Amino acid sequence: MSDFEGLKALVTGGASGIGRATAELLAERGAQVAVLDLDPSSVDKPLLAHRADVTDDASVRQAVTAAVAGLGGGLDVLVNNAGIGARGTVEDNPDDEWHRVYDVNVLGMVRTTRACLPHLRASRHAAIVNTCSVAATAGLPQRALYSATKGAVHSLTLAMAADHVREGIRVNCVNPGTVDTPWVGRLLDAAPDPAAERAALEARQPTGRLVSPAEVAGAIAYLASPLSGATTGTALAVDGGMQGL
């Protein structure tokens, strides 16, 4: 199948986890793909790798310009995926930590989108997919700051969809549950008994297992592809039934 033949895509946070699986899947399906990441050293061909910090507007603009040039000009798909986690209740994180996480998870998407919009407007199949989270709407304990940033990503997705629908740019998001990425691996490794912690985490999932990065990539690829051409302003859950069951 080659849903993305002739299309050009940019994936932020594409060096690890969900972003990496997405970049690889889009490339497998025929897209030319550029990855923007804080540390793109592990990214292999055919993916094009560019270093960028989504908290730095100049760095994002420079990397987007270089990526679009590397893709031979033009851009059809933007996957706003770079993000970081945060634990705790409203009492646990000081203001500067709220600003730091919001800067990556929300403003990072704003900056990257702003830099990409002129290119996306020129595409006949323009799509933006934001990596949101089940945390946006689930009311998870110990995740006040993280959930607030993902709630903002959800609202931002709807607002962007409305703003750009007449320009032919679709905007959707995916809401993953607990995904087996290096990020979750790091959290488990920090527990006193990582294997027991993993087993407990799996037992809490309706499916009895974590979501795989490839499963989230599949949902992102669908929302990015012309197959979902009439879909904009939606959030697609990829959570193994976490919210629905």
Catalytic residues: 146
The Cα–Cα gap between 45 and 69 comes to 16
- Using the minimum distance from each CB to ligand NAD, give the nearer residue, 19 or 236: 19
219: contact with ligand NAD by CB under 6 A: no
Tokens 């507007």 appear where? 57
Minimum distance of ligand NAD from residue 150's CB (angstroms): 7
The Cα–Cα gap between 23 and 82 comes to 12
- Using the minimum distance from each CB to ligand NAD, give the nearer residue, 126 or 216: 216
The Cα–Cα gap between 138 and 203 comes to 18
- Using the minimum distance from each CB to ligand NAD, give the nearer residue, 38 or 158: 38
116: contact with ligand NAD by CB under 6 A: no
133: contact with ligand NAD by CB under 6 A: yes
At 185, list the tokens: 């691996």
Beta pairing partners, 11: 35, 79
- Using the minimum distance from each CB to ligand NAD, give the nearer residue, 68 or 136: 136
43: contact with ligand NAD by CB under 6 A: no
104: contact with ligand NAD by CB under 6 A: yes
Cβ contact 101:145 at 8 Å? yes
Q: Which of 13, 58, 62, 17 is nearest to 38 (CA)?
A: 13
- CA distances to 182, 226, 232 from 3, rounded to whole Å, are 28, 7, 18
φ, ψ dihedrals at 84, nearest 5°: -130, 160
183: contact with ligand NAD by CB under 6 A: yes
Q: Which residues contact 72 (CB under 8 A, 6 or more apart)?
A: 8, 32
Stretch that binds ligand NAD, among 70-78, 158-166, 178-186, 228-236 (CB under 6 A): 178-186
Minimum distance of ligand NAD from residue 184's CB (angstroms): 5
182: contact with ligand NAD by CB under 6 A: yes
Residue 188: HSE in the Cβ half-sphere, 13 Å Cα cutoff:
18
Minimum distance of ligand NAD from residue 7's CB (angstroms): 22
Minimum distance of ligand NAD from residue 27's CB (angstroms): 17
Minimum distance of ligand NAD from residue 228's CB (angstroms): 19
Among 10, 54, 120, 148, binds ligand NAD (CB under 6 A): 54
SS3 146: helix
Q: How many helices (H) and strands (E) does the chain have?
A: 9, 7
Minimum distance of ligand NAD from residue 167's CB (angstroms): 25
Among 37, 116, 147, 225, binds ligand NAD (CB under 6 A): 37
The Cα–Cα gap between 217 and 174 comes to 9
What residue ranges bind ligand NAD (CB under 6 A)? 12-13, 15-19, 37-39, 52-55, 81-84, 104, 108, 131, 133, 176, 178-179, 181-184
